């Protein structure tokens, strides 16, 4: 049985109920802030676009682990060997307490460590520029269905109905051998954010992940996620 922690939406919206005059409730922005040094904090990992019967050769790993900078801090590590030329590695979390059937824009920043340097040569694509970071949200829980996702995340550099591309994993300080890591933050302004409508029950699933065209090993540590759902 799966258990998910509730993100801050319910707490932030609890004080926004109607008053004695029964005036309509005005939706407020919902802030979702996670530092993975404190654990998973309600996020869960997943992988897709690979044959599940051959999972072992993809070397998939998902865990809270020590960061590669020797700081003693921790991050949410996602690691995988992209033998399908299309491996998707992602984090997801459920947000409750939103206004039902309301349009929101998802924006903010995602920080991580990556072992992908700039202008490197790789099979199928570059280990940095060809691994695209995506962000999105849906009413249903994102998960693998047979080979592909049950939502439309798009393919590699292309966005889908349920996700947009916000950058790649090239990090300053990383090298082409994959033996050094660099830290990177991707920021998404409100005007460039992902537009989504909450469910009839006032819920959404949010997702961040990497869609890879590089046929090699990708190793990442997510450190912080600061997102806002703005109505």
Q: What is the average per-residue pLDDT within 199-224?
A: 96
| Structure confidence at residue 63 (pLDDT) | 98
How confident is the prediction for the chain on average, in pLDDT? 89
Q: What is the average per-residue pLDDT within 154-178?
A: 96
Least confident of 1-5, 93-97, 169-173, 226-230: 1-5
The CA distance from 98 to 40, in Å, is 22
Q: What is the average per-residue pLDDT within 114-119?
A: 96
At 180-206, the pLDDT tens digits run: 999 999 999 999 999 999 999 999 999
**What are the structure tokens assigned to 139, written together?**
């009413």
Q: What is the average per-residue pLDDT within 203-217?
A: 95
Of 80, 78, 69, 58, residue with least CA distance to 180: 69
At residue 17, does pLDDT exceed 50? no
At 79-114, the pLDDT tens digits run: 999 988 889 999 999 999 999 999 999 999 999 999
Least confident of 46-50, 84-88, 161-165: 84-88
What is the DSSP pairing of strand 131-138 with strand 204-212?
antiparallel
Q: pLDDT category, 23, cuts 50, 70, 90? A: low
At residue 16, does pLDDT exceed 80? no
Task: Output the pTM of the full model.
Answer: 0.89
At residue 18, does pLDDT exceed 90? no
| Structure confidence at residue 12 (pLDDT) | 34
| Structure confidence at residue 60 (pLDDT) | 96
Q: pLDDT category, 21, cuts 50, 70, 90? A: low
Q: pLDDT category, 3, cuts 50, 70, 90? A: very low
What is the DSSP pairing of strand 144-145 with strand 148-149?
antiparallel
Which runs of consecutive H residues, i.e. helices, occur in the chain?
9-13
- What values do phi and psi take at 71, rounded to 5? -80, -20
Q: What is the average per-residue pLDDT within 1-8?
A: 38
| Structure confidence at residue 27 (pLDDT) | 87
Report DSSP letters for 172-187, one per residue.
TT--TTS-S-EEEEEE
Q: CA Rg, the chain, in Å?
A: 18
DSSP category for residue 170: B
**What are the structure tokens assigned to 217, written together?**
């090993």
The CA distance from 193 to 230, in Å, is 10
| Structure confidence at residue 203 (pLDDT) | 97
Walk me through the domains of the chain, giving residue ranges and CATH numbers: 9-230 (2.60.120.260)
């Amino acid at each position: 049985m799966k258990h998910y922690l509730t993100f801050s939406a319910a707490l932030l919206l609890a004080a926004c109920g109607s008053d004695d005059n029964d005036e309509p409730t005005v939706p407020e922005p919902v802030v979702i802030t996670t530092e993975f040094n404190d654990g998973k904090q309600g996020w869960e990992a997943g992988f897709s676009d690979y044959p599940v019967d051959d999972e072992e050769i993809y070397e998939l790993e998902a865990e809270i682990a020590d960061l590669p900078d020797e700081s003693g801090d921790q991050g949410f590590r996602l690691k995988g060997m992209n033998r399908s030329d299309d491996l998707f590695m992602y984090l997801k979390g459920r947000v409750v307490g939103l206004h039902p059937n309301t349009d929101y824009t998802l924006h903010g920043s995602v920080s991580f460590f990556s072992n992908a340097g700039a202008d490197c040569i790789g099979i199928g694509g570059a280990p940095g520029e060809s691994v695209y970071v995506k962000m999105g949200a849906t009413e249903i829980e994102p998960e693998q269905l047979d080979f592909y996702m049950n939502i439309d995340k798009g393919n590699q550099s292309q966005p889908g109905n349920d996700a947009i591309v916000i950058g790649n994993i090239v990090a300053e300080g990383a090298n082409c051998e994959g033996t050094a890591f660099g830290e990177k933050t991707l920021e998404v302004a409100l005007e460039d954010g992902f537009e989504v409508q909450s469910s009839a029950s006032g819920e959404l699933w949010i997702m961040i992940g990497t869609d890879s065209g590089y046929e090699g090993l990708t190793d990442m540590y997510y450190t912080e996620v600061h997102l806002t759902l703005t109505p």
